[in-house]
Amino acid sequence: MAEKTQQRVAIVTGASRGIGEAIARSLGEQGRHVVCVARNAEKLDAVAKAITDAGGHASVKTCDMSDHTAVGALIDTVADEHGRLDILINNAGITRDNLMLRMSDAEWDEVMQTNLRGVFIACRAALRPMMRGKWGRIVNISSVSALVGNAGQGNYAAAKAAVIALTKSIAKEMGGKNITANAVCPGFIETDMTDVLPASIKDNVKKITALGRFGKPQEIAAAAAYLASEEAGYTTGQVITVDGGMTMC
């Protein structure tokens, strides 16, 4: 194991764009060393450069969250290289939308492998270095679909709901170890995934959202950054919904 890095070390999965990129930048501004993780090395390099250009510290690791052996190895490698791991933000996720009667086994399994099992593997691996360091913050990005369901997203909603239950279980198990675990449930956010939605759907979302607009990735990042901060030491097992008042949960 390398000599222990002085600043806190954070892993952010799905950091190449959208919410993950915004979280990575926010943690960089907090003074964390941010390990940016996703499949696209070129995009990750751009995010890491933006963090370092702003005076922060960042590095890049490529990984497919559906490759569970690679996920565990990634966590171990980061902890070994830096002598610590303090923060894990599980943001990476995929969609394979379809109505229930048409959904294939493969569409169900792909989403579960990445959005649920990948999160479980990452959390389990991260807990060991966090316990050694006697401090840890786990933030799992869920979704409002986990709270209210969504037609055509039975697989996605089920996986994200399970992530909430997993998060609460980790919080109960790790409370005595000074490790917190919380979930953030974004509503409809301005990202590449929502840009392709038909105008009719976007208009309907705005109508049922109290603030009458889509959220911004930075607004999710602000919630995640707080939960990953020193000041959030008494917040654990919580579900923070950031959806502009769409669900009022």
- Kindly report, residue by residue over 120-164, the tens digit of the pLDDT: 999 999 999 999 999 999 999 999 999 999 999 999 999 999 999
Using a CB cutoff of 8 Å and minimum separation of 24, what contacts does 45-50 make? 47/15, 47/16, 47/21, 50/25
Question: Is 226 one of the annotated active-site residues of the chain?
Answer: no
- Kindly report, residue by residue over 52-88, the tens digit of the pLDDT: 999 999 999 999 999 999 999 999 999 999 999 999 9
What values do phi and psi take at 56, rounded to 5? -95, -175
Lowest mean pLDDT among 1-5, 38-42, 86-90: 1-5
- DSSP secondary structure string for all residues of the chain: -PPPPSS-EEEEETTTSHHHHHHHHHHHHTTPEEEEEES-HHHHHHHHHHHHHTT-EEEEEE--TT-HHHHHHHHHHHHHHHS---EEEE-------B-TTT--HHHHHHHHIIIIIHHHHHHHHHHHHHHHHT-EEEEEE--THHHH--TTBHHHHHHHHHHHHHHHHHHHHHGGGTEEEEEEEE-SBSSHHHHTS-HHHHHHHHHTSTTSS-B-HHHHHHHHHHHTSGGGTT--S-EEEESTTSS--
Cα separation, 182 vs 63, whole angstroms = 23
Q: Give me the CATH topology for the region 9-188+216-240.
A: Rossmann fold (3.40.50)
163-169 average pLDDT score = 98
What pLDDT, on the 0 to 100 scale, is given for residue 236?
98
What pLDDT, on the 0 to 100 scale, is given for residue 2?
72
Q: Single out the catalytic residue among 108, 156, 188, 214.
A: 156
- Kindly report, residue by residue over 172-218, the tens digit of the pLDDT: 999 999 999 999 999 999 988 788 888 888 899 999 999 999 999 99
Model confidence at 1, in pLDDT bands (50, 70, 90)?
Answer: low
Tokens representing 108?
């169900």
What pLDDT, on the 0 to 100 scale, is given for residue 249?
58
Cα separation, 152 vs 168, whole angstroms = 26
Q: Is the dihedral of CA 204, 208, 211, 215 positive or negative?
A: negative
**pTM reported for the whole predicted model:** 0.95
What pLDDT, on the 0 to 100 scale, is given for residue 198?
85
Domain boundaries, the chain: 9-188+216-240
State how far the alpha carbon of 172 is from the alpha carbons of 135, 138, 151, 167, 211, in Å: 15, 13, 32, 9, 34
- Kindly report, residue by residue over 16-38, the tens digit of the pLDDT: 999 999 999 999 999 999 999 99
